[in-house]
Structure 1
Amino acid sequence: MRVLGVAPTVALVVGVALLANAAVDFMLRYTRGPSSYAALMGDAFGRAGAALLNVFVAFNAIGTLTVYLIIIGDVMSGTTSDGKVHDGVLTEWFGQQWWTGREAVLVAAAVLLLPLVLRKRVDSLKFTSAVSILLAVVFVFINLGIAVYALFTGTAKMPRMLPDFSRLSSPFELFTAVPIVVVAFTFHFNVHPIRTELSKTSDMKAAVRISLVLCAAIYAAVGFFGFLLFGDATMADVLANFDRSSGAGVPQALNDAARLSYALHLVLVFPLLHFSLRVNVDELLFPGRRPLATDTRRFVALTAVLMAVLYALAIAIPSIWTLFEYSGSTFAVCISLIFPGAIVLRDAHGIAKTKDKALAATMIALAVITSSIAIASNVMSSISGKVEGGHAAGR
């Protein structure tokens, strides 16, 4: 919302949710029996299509899970933005200690996550997924309470309804918000595993629509309340704003409750996405081998390697914004919009109607155009930042 303003952001969230629903509808219509997204791509484009999907899902999941760990580290240990230090919950409570540092916190998080990421069936995560949704709703209501408190105490900011072009280096910078929202609605690789374990597979469409409505409402509400509290000072990781230096005049207990509820939400969401990451990496590296769930040695080894990679990336990469922008502009856009549209245009079973092909072509065109502009804008901003930094150093 800091980039687009309230009205365009809400419109973007609704638009991407509608496109995600259409994409899932295409995927379910072209599915023949028990399947997976990779099998669906393989049915349309052969082994190369399935392998490409596996690669894109793996990179997208690695990026998103790394972001989750970075956010958990920011919440618990703190972060720095524009030279300003934002303390984490642990550093506010106990000060700077070796065990409140990012490395130690992420090791503790990895240990806590192990019992969940070692689950071999996705239906064993249904309770943690339900609790994670509950925590997201709790987070929204805490934000609502904080926003109401700020309104009554006069510390709330007036949210902008439209973009402020004077703050943008280029009008094309508006497109950088699109990949962020696309990443938030990229769940397509979980559709088939969940559908397979439903007692009635026909319930999948309704489950997807309910989830999309709930997620869209949560995303819009969190963005609006954060913008109401912090205005243009809202950070890419808005949770970092909820420290003692927030300036919102809100009791710190509420700030800490907001941060901790969302951090725990991410901990409980993490295993489901990790499940998809592990399955796709296994399909890519070990095609034709027996199911991963029946090979304990391969299952544990792959889980350990992936967790180590995610930990290393979370330590090495300081900002979630960069990951979201590039992952969303490439892998997420392909998974959520381009590949489902391509399946319809390929029409391997001859069931696509004219309106289906028109919608699929529109999805692909929108995805390619917006992603290309976003990537170009990000690259130009990076180059401009380096040039300015070099000039400053020369002076």
Structure 2
Amino acid sequence: MSLNAKSSRGPGLLEVSDGLWEREVDDEDDYGGELGGVMHAADTPFTAAVKAEAHPVIEGNASLRSTLFNTINAIVGAGVLALPYALRLDGAVVGTLLILLVAGLSERSAAMLLWVSDATKQRLYAGIGGAVGGPILGKVVDMTVVLQNLGLLIGYVVVCGDLIPEFVAYSRGDTDAGEGTIDWQFRAIILAVLSAVVFLPLSSLKSLDALRFTTIVGLVCVLVFVASAIALGSMTAADPHTVPCDATRGEIRIWPTTFVGVLQSAPLMFFSFVAHNTILLLYGELKRQRDPERESKFPSKRDKMNFVVRVSLVVCALLYGLSSLFSYSMFRDVTSQDVFVDFGPRAFPFMAWVKMAYAIVIIFSFPIIAFALRRSLHNLIFGTGHVPTTMHAVVESAFVVAISALVGIFVPAVSTVFGLTGALTATNIMYIFPSGFFLVLHARHKAQKAEDPTSVSLPEPPKGLWYWAVVVFCVGVFVFVGSTTGVILGMVSPAASSSCVQGA
């Protein structure tokens, strides 16, 4: 189904017919009533949308600052725990370079996705897929987003199940907490209470902008862990005996020892930066320029969101790079798949508090991902044209939280969830879908322009982005095949487990 045909998935898609452009308007219309109705071909959808930039009609009320904080919080998360192990597989130099490379490619793919969002007038990932390739592709996109976000939420529950019971036990005087002494039933009770009292209410909020205050708290807690990792890593460089398992941890590896190790680490890298579906939702909530007389350094709302994404990825890459490099330099060959396991409270007493601070990061990141998940889940059930009510939000959030909590209680390792889910879904959401959509619409724009330059209904693509789309698409396909193979090989022939705790 082409972009110029009306979709059966509901209102909100474009219809171009006989020189006219018609767009149905619903309660969540991106541009309000000003762009509804029928418009002549001389005034294309894109030129009208550009004119609307100066009008007081806006899509949402989220400020630039709150959108920036929410975007950072949507990206940074449990990747802090898994990336030190990725550096163990890749080596310090290659691992750090891969973090920067993934961040750069993510910025380019996000720019493509935002352009495609404007071209199709869609703020939902499935809506874009339906506009570009029809309802079947829209369903495939939604299912991919659901699997990816569900895997991420389960990983968050696993992390909370590791960190919070350890802190509670340690605060009671158990200095061996976290080293295999946490009772499974105690862990399950804490996760059940956390899900009912915290996860469910926050995940049921109407908009992501309502989470702006919890996001700030989460970012402060991320900085606490990064600062702690830098301090401990610097102390270890000055005195290797700072780490109790110094005799077993080996040397800092600069380069990867095997190519299979690189393939196994790739999903962890890509999964740590995936937030494209949430970026679309935040883009819809970001407010436009209210006063047409007021000067702004952003020519359009899309330029403003591109700025937010760019700054967010720089911040997250810096946080990931510093925490991973210093954590790996401490534990080296005995770096665990979850680096917090290595920071045992017996050797690092104050780390129990740092771990609890990071648990707060995960707690406040959970509702952001859950919001995106329940929107995709709602689309699968009711279609993109159906506006969710408050009751829908509560019921769908309860379902998402319950599934995440139940699976998270029984899953022992966060790296298993991140590795397999990241290989199967993250590369599609981050690279294959955005670049593929961009290339399709770019070709349609080129064909329309060649046929009749005055009736082009798609926005002008950013210069040079087509070449990046080809690169990103090829990288996405290669990583999808290679990392999935690497993860399967790792599951069939797992590497010998080791950690600082075992070597202590």
TM-score range, shorter chain: 0.7 to 0.9
Q: How do 1:310-329 and structure 2 match up within 5 A?
A: 310-329=404-423
Any conservation in 2 of the 1:142–1:257 contact (CA below 8 Å)? no
Match of 1:103 among 164, 188, 201: 188
**CA contact 1:16–1:185 (8 Å) conserved in 2:** yes
Do the aligned partners of 1:98 and 1:104 also contact (CA within 8 Å) in 2?
A: no
1:301 aligns with 2:395: yes
Q: Deviations along 1:248-267, whole A, 9 cap, x unmatched?
A: x54x02x1122111111110
Shift of 1:302: 1.3
More helix by share: 1
SS at match of 1:71: helix
* CA displacement at 1:112 relative to structure 2: 2.1
Relative to structure 1, the CA distance from residue 296 to residue 376 in structure 2 (aligned partners, 3 Å threshold; closer, same or farther) is same
Deviation at 1:34?
5.6
2:445 aligned with 1:335, yes or no? no
- Asked if structure 1 preserves the Cα contact closer than 8 Å seen for 2:126 and 2:384, the reply is no
1:55-204 → structure 2 map (5 Å cutoff)? 55-77=143-165, 88-94=166-172, 95=174, 101-110=186-195, 111-155=197-241, 160-163=252-255, 165=257, 170-200=258-288, 201=301, 202-204=303-305
Cα shift readout 1:349-382 (whole Å, capped 9, x = no counterpart): 4455794333222212212222312222222333
In the alignment, is the contact (CA less than 8 A) between 1:147 and 1:228 conserved in 2? yes
1:249-288 pair list within 5 angstroms: 249-250=347-348, 252-253=349-350, 255-287=351-383
For 2:320, the equivalent position in structure 1 comes to 219
Deviations 1:91-129 (A, max 9, x none): 333356869722012112212222211211111111212
1:236 and 2:337 equivalent? yes
Change in Cα spacing, 1:99 to 1:2, as seen in structure 2 (3 Å) is closer
Amino acid aligned to 1:74: D
State whether residues 6 and 160 of structure 1, in contact with CA within 8 Å, keep that contact through their aligned partners in structure 2.
yes
Residue number among 13, 26, 37 corresponding to 2:99 in the alignment: 13
CA separation of 1:25 and 1:317: change in aligned 2, threshold 3 A: same
Residue 143 of structure 1: how far off its partner (Å): 1.8
302-311 or 98-107: which moved more? 98-107
Could you tell me which amino acid in structure 2 is paired with residue 265 of structure 1?
A: V
3-state DSSP of counterpart to 1:31: helix
Q: Structure 2 vs 1, CA of residues 181 and 25 (structure 1 numbering), >3 Å: closer, same or farther? A: same
**Which whole-Å CA distance do the structure 2 matches of 1:384 and 1:139 have between them?**
33
Once the 2 structures are TM-superposed, how far is the Cα of residue 54 of structure 1 from its aligned partner? Answer: 0.8
Is the counterpart of residue 369 in structure 1 residue 478 in structure 2? yes
Gap regions ≥5 residues in structure 2: 1-86, 175-180, 289-300, 447-459, 496-504
In the superposition, relative to structure 1, how do residues 55 and 288 fare at CA in structure 2: closer, same or farther (>3 Å)? closer
Q: Once the two structures are superposed, what CA deviation does each residue of 1:173-216 show, in whole Å capped at 9, x if it has no partner?
A: 21111111111111110122212222232411111111000000
Q: Deviations over 1:296-319 (max 9, x none)?
A: 332222111111110111012111
Q: Which moved more, 1:371-380 or 1:172-181?
A: 371-380
- Shift of the 316–148 alpha-carbon distance from structure 1 to 2, 3 Å rule, reads same
Query: Contact 1:62 / 1:310 at 8 angstroms: preserved in 2?
Result: yes
Correspondence for 1:345: 439
| Secondary structure of 1:2's aligned partner | helix
Bigger radius of gyration? 2
Compute the RMSD of aligned alpha carbons. 2.3
- Partner SS state of residue 344, structure 2: coil
Distance 1:137 1:100, change over 3 A: farther
Unaligned runs of 5+ in 1: 78-87, 387-395
Q: Kindly state the Cα deviation for residue 147 of structure 1 after the two structures are TM-superposed.
A: 2.4
Counterpart AA for 2:437: I
Kindly state the Cα deviation for residue 163 of structure 1 after the two structures are TM-superposed.
Answer: 3.2
C-alpha distance in 2 between matches for 1:333 and 1:314: 23
Amino acid at match of 1:318: P
Contact between 1:118 and 1:303, CA under 8 Å: does it hold in 2? yes
- 8 A contact 2:142–2:379 mirrored in 1: yes
Which range moved further: 99-108 or 8-17?
99-108
> Quick one: percent identity of the two aligned structures?
22
TM superposition shift of 1:385: 5.1
How many pairs were matched up? 365
8 Å CA contact 1:135–1:261 kept in 2: the answer is yes
What is residue 90 of structure 2 aligned with on the other side?
A: 4
- Relative distance call for 1:346 and 1:115 in structure 2 (3 A) is same
